[in-house]
Structure 1
Amino acid sequence: MDTLEQPDLTRYAALLPDTGEPGFGVYVHWPFCAAKCPYCDFNSHVRHQPVDQERFTAAFLKEMATVRQLSGPKTVTSVFLGGGTPSLMNPSTVAAILDGIGKHWHMPDGIEITMEANPSSVEAERFRGYRAAGVNRVSLGVQALNDRDLKFLGRLHDVADALKAIKLARDIFPRMSFDLIYARPNQTVDEWERELKEAISYAVDHLSLYQLTIEEGTPFFGLHKAGKLIVPDGDQSALLYEATQEITAREGLPAYEVSNHARPGAESRHNLTYWRYGEYAGIGPGAHGRLTRGSMKIATATERKPESWLDLVERDGHGMIDQEQLGYEEQADELLLMGLRLKEGVDLARWQQLSGRDLDPKREEFLLEHGFIERIGNSRLRCTPSGMLILDSVVADLAC
């Protein structure tokens, strides 16, 4: 396949620079998809009748008003429209949602505003409408660059659709990312290396590269349990992961998080808010949030079923079904869990302030000696590439 013409990278400077602070993000969940992928356990739903977008828009705005009361005044550092398939929304719906965020919180010019899109739902006119509404970054769910595996993954697009969507996104939006899933059945390291190099030739500044995981409750889970779907074992998955890190680093898109790769300065600001354990408002069916109230952090969660969420919002002003006050120890654990995913690691002083203690010296020494973690000066701790392969175990050891 021909490599797409390289864009002018100077226009990416238009977005505000990353300050390194956790920030305050707003996440809005559009829960509808044209089809449910067999590997997906996200809160996404297929509806065979047109969705009443005006009614849902009014509900998003109503819930925002309630969440604003919980959060207090904030300056928004990023917005993320996720799903589901947000590119099924009308541009007018997107514009109304972004206007609502700007009404309830301070939203400076130049912040990152991302929308997820599937190649099968991409049209140039709609993309231009989203750009006019304020979206300046799009994240495409490409998932594979061969038609056989796209069909296996249940995607509605083919490679030609994907390349068309990538070209449109590069032409219209200041920033663009796309996702790929690897560690697919029977996938060899050589095959993945070729596909990844092809993806990098199309990418502008960011790629999200996820290993296929078998999630309970999905069609793939049943097939896997019955022995009809075999995924690479641990050793093969590790080889695929190591090849991913090597190639992306060599091609100028090094990992800044376990599954995310970017040219320096093009990291996803919104996802950095999660991984730096910042604050974020969750709006919409099945959305989660973390809001600070005084010195405490409140974890929020909303009703997952779209129609039930809609009824709750229209009745009560919000669809939240859970508001949990997190203690300092819980916050410290979440900070460690999220921060160790990042190449920049965890701010130890912040962790110590929350946990009220130092790291266990014996556990830290063990992990250091085995090359799973390393110190960055005296202030930060991060996982090494070897540690990233057993991240959950490293977090569990340090949190004890």
Structure 2
Amino acid sequence: MPGLNLLEVSAFAKVPTPLALYIHWPFCISKCPYCDFNSHVRESVDQDAWRTALLKDMAHEAGLTKGRPLTSIFFGGGTPSLMSPATVSALIDAAQAHWGFADNIEITLEANPSSVEAARFADLAQAGVNRVSLGLQSLDDAALAFLGRAHSVAESHDALAIAQQHFGRVNIDLIYARPDQTADQWETELRQALSFGTDHMSLYQLTIEPGTRFETMVRTGQFIPADNDEAATLYDMTQSITAAAGLPAYEISNHARHGSESRHNLSYWRYDDYIGIGPGAHGRRLNIATQRHKKPENFVAAIDRNAHAIASEDALDPASRATEALLMGLRLSEGICLDRLSQKTGIAADALLDTGALDHIAKLGLIRCDGNKVTVTPKGMPLLDAILPQIVAVEANAPA
């Protein structure tokens, strides 16, 4: 069936849809000033205790989703490259025993490009990791210091070379639209990054998130973020340069060679089911939203008490599922098939979006409608946050 994704193939064959697994490792050496993820700095981590806790949390979820092969595993954080390779190996082996693996499963681990973590790459590859996501964040030492990163550009080069030696697929993360960053500076940095030859790049504009140290610094006048016009100029440049280099955007901040898109992240954006284990991890399984306890100590206590660490487990009504699917799927360059979403939720295709607002925005060239397929255009992507509230018609009752 050429042109169909895994979800469509499963629907036609009437077999269970695939399943993704996210494993959260919450620990970091230090907290980056821009980071609002569930990450924690601890003087020491008991690898054996955490391996046991994560294996128990995984076993609980496996009991609810048997018979659905995993298409991807993603170790996120925090800094999962601080996990011992033995822990990573035990989790991968347990996942295979619980669910089984689809052909060519993608197993990704996020890593910082420090020499200590790069030294683990060979053992992590031996454990089963076949894709690594390197948090380079910048190719300028002064910018790395501003971003609170503990590595240098030289370490980034060394770690990337080691990663490309041991892993079949490598992603690099970069943050742009930094304060006072010029278009020429970003172009130079981006072209250098493209010269590394990785098959995937995640390129994020710096955003000031509530509760972060950067928010405090901005509020107290210690620096001024890039304004919207400056950020838009850099965004447009990014799209042009990456597309010309053969890594077009397939999602608003993610770029890949054809066939090298992150299968795990596509599971989120296409609204497939995914299991989330580890502190603070979210999941979506069988029309239920799950979340684990966020604080590491509370997570472990819940495991000891219940043999799982679920903090909340909420049924999602059709409108909530449709809203989530639209908010995620319209981030993708492939867009949303309304008929397919209607089949998944039971909501009529013509009731999913506000047709009046859709027509108006389409006339502005921000959205393209082709039969029952809706796609946000490249011109509309930078305005996605403003577009979505106007066109999504269903009223969700998703849990907070």
Q: Normalising by structure 2, what TM-score?
A: 0.92
Q: Which amino acid aligns with 1:298?
A: I
SS of equivalent residue, structure 1 residue 38: coil
Structure-2 change in CA distance of 1:88 and 1:121 (3 Å): farther
Q: Call closer, same or farther: CA 1:170–1:18 in 2, change over 3 Å.
A: farther
Cα deviation for residue 89 of structure 1 reads 0.8
Distance 1:218 1:121, change over 3 A: farther
Task: Give the counterpart letter for 2:293 in structure 1.
Answer: E
Equivalents in 2 of 1:109, 1:93: separation in Å?
Answer: 23
Once superposed, what is the RMSD of the aligned Cα atoms? 1.5
Matches within 5 A, 1:1-400: 20-22=5-7, 23-48=18-43, 50-120=44-114, 122-123=116-117, 125-292=119-286, 297-353=287-343, 354=345, 355-358=347-350, 359-375=353-369, 377-400=370-393
Cα displacement (A) at 1:125:
4.3
In structure 2, distance between residues paired with 1:58 and 1:347: 41
Cα distance change of structure 1 residues 322 and 88 upon mapping to structure 2, 3 Å threshold: same
SS of aligned partner of 2:391: helix
Write out the 4+ residue segments of structure 1 that deviate beyond 4 Å after TM superposition.
121-125
Secondary structure of the residue aligned to 1:385 is: coil
Supply the distance in 2 between the matched residues of 1:109 and 1:370 (Cα, whole angstroms). 43
- Deviation per residue, 1:226-269 (Å, 9 max, x gap): 22221111111110100000000011110000000001000000
- Contact kept in structure 2, 1:81 and 1:114, CA below 8 Å: yes
Output the CA distance in 2 between the equivalents of 1:146 and 1:361: 46
Describe the shift of the 1:124–1:34 C-alpha distance in structure 2 as closer, same or farther (beyond 3 A): closer
Deviation at 1:110, TM superposition (A): 2.1
Counterpart of 2:371 in 1: which secondary structure?
coil
May I ask how many residue pairs the two structures share in their alignment? 378
Separation (CA, whole Å) in 2 of partners of 1:352 and 1:88:
42
Secondary structure of the 2:327 match is helix
Question: Within 1, Cα distance between the matches of 2:296 and 2:234?
Answer: 37
Q: Is the 8 A contact 2:115 2:155 kept in 1?
A: no
| Structure 2 counterpart SS, 1:229 | coil
The question of whether the paired residues in 1 share the 8 Å contact of 2:111 and 2:117 is answered with no
Cα deviation for residue 397 of structure 1 reads: 1.3
TM-score, with length taken from structure 1 = 0.92
Structure 1 portions without partners, runs of 5+: 1-16
- Uncovered stretches (5+) of structure 2, i.e. residues with no partner: 8-17, 394-400
Q: Which residue of structure 2 lines up, in the alignment, with residue 3 of structure 1?
A: none
Alignment partners' CA distance in 2, 1:227 and 1:172: 44
How many angstroms apart in 1 are the aligned matches of 2:226 and 2:135?
A: 22
Query: Relative contact order: is structure 1 or structure 2 higher (C-alpha 8 Å, sep ≥ 6)?
Result: 1
Deviation at 1:379, TM superposition (A): 3.4
